[in-house]
Amino acid sequence: MTLRTVAMVVPHRPGLFELGVVQEVFGIDRTDDGVPPIDFLACTEHPGTPVELANGMSMSFPHGLDAADAADLVVAPAYDYDRPPSAALVDVLRRAHARGAWVLSVCSGAFLLGEAGLLDDRRCTTHWRHTDELRRRHPRAKVDPDVLFVEDDRVITSAGTAAGIDACLHHVRCELGAAAANRIARRMVVPPQRDGGQRQFIDLPVPVCEADSLGPLLEWMKANLADQLSVRTLARRAAMSERTFARRFAAETGTTPGQWLLAQRLHHARELLESSDLAVENVAGRAGFGSAALLRHHFGNHVGVSPAEYRRTFRRPDARSA
């Protein structure tokens, strides 16, 4: 294992923060902390020519793309993937992997790896807002929307922004050892490793009713989440047979009454965990799960962490007991 040279290839309209993440992990001399030296190269197709960044600023970079041909790791930062990357940029990544180097992407940089064919038949990820588009553009990619980063056959992809730190530190840990990763993390004031996945950061989509015939019923259901709402109860309230109600509900919301209620209950539970000091058992009761055990089960399946872990991450400081 070796990590002597890291090359960051800069596409059009890259994200400034993501550029900084890669430079912060690999581009700062930390030999005084016992971290082995790393030669960091910021490479672009036209060295010295200003590159427009995603935030409207511009920046120039000193190295041409050919400098990446000897790197142990080649990194693709986040960028504006609506515009196709140049063939030269794609070829650098393709050549790097073919000669045995590692490649790593931060956030939407995964689209650059996809253009190089490096996501085909491999597990990968990107920011949760972009996962559907990544699947659409690269149908052979095995996109996992729930993780912070994925490693598959010398290809590392990471989720949004801060998950790039996780992926970079992971590679340092694997190549240079845990001590080096811990020292870099300590200097950056970030955890060396984070638990959970990006599911906990996703706003869970709550199915809505596009037609208005069931609108009043849906509002009533949201106001009574703590109750046991069976299909029979809901059908009776809607003045329909159970079969007709189930068919109408699916037609107007795109889901079943049970799944719609689960999404609403998870959403309400998340709000309570963020904004109140209620015990998990009480949160479960108010959200309609009945028991803390059932809440933990669904939270684990749909959010990826326990209710207690979610609260530690997202607890609002101005919350008061309810």
Cα gap 178→93, rounded to integer Å: 27
In a domain, 208, yes or no: no
* Same structural domain, 14 and 55: yes
For Cα atoms 226, 231, 235, give the angle at the middle one, nearest 5 degrees.
110
Predicted local confidence at residue 195, as pLDDT: 56
CA distance 39 to 6: 6
Cα separation, 167 vs 151, whole angstroms: 9
What is the C-alpha separation between 83 and 133, in angstroms, rounded? 14
Same domain, yes or no, for 248 and 165?
no
At 305 the pLDDT is 80
* Same domain assignment for residues 153 and 293: no
Q: What is the pLDDT of residue 304?
A: 78
Residue ranges in the chain modelled with pLDDT below 50: 200, 202, 204-211, 318-322
Q: What is the residue range of 273's domain?
A: 215-314
Between CA 251 and CA 254, with CA 252 as vertex, the angle to 5 degrees is 65
Q: In the prediction, which pLDDT does 194 show?
A: 62
17 and 100 both lie in a single domain: yes
**pLDDT of res. 301:** 84
User: DSSP class of residue 62?
Assistant: S
- CA-CA distance, 97 to 43, in Å (whole number)? 17
Residue at 89 is within a domain: yes
Taking each helix axis from N to C end, the angle separating 292-302 and 257-275, rounded to the nearest 10 degrees, works out to 100
| Structural domain includes residue 321 | no
End position of a domain, from candidates 177, 200, 223: 200
CB 43 within 8 A of CB 10: yes
* Beta strands 102-105; 123-124: pairing state: unpaired
Helix or strand run (H / E) with residue 32 = none
- Kindly state whether residue 188 falls inside one of the protein's structural domains: yes
Query: What is the predicted pLDDT for the residue at 100?
Result: 96
151: CATH: 3.40.50.880
C-alpha–C-alpha distance, residues 93 and 67, integer Å: 12
Q: What global pTM score does this model have?
A: 0.66
Q: How many domains does the chain have?
A: 2
> Measured between alpha carbons, how far is 30 from 28 in angstroms, rounded to an integer?
6
| Residues 130 and 258 grouped into a single domain | no
Does one domain contain both 107 and 249?
no
- 21 and 164 in contact (C-beta within 8 Å)? yes
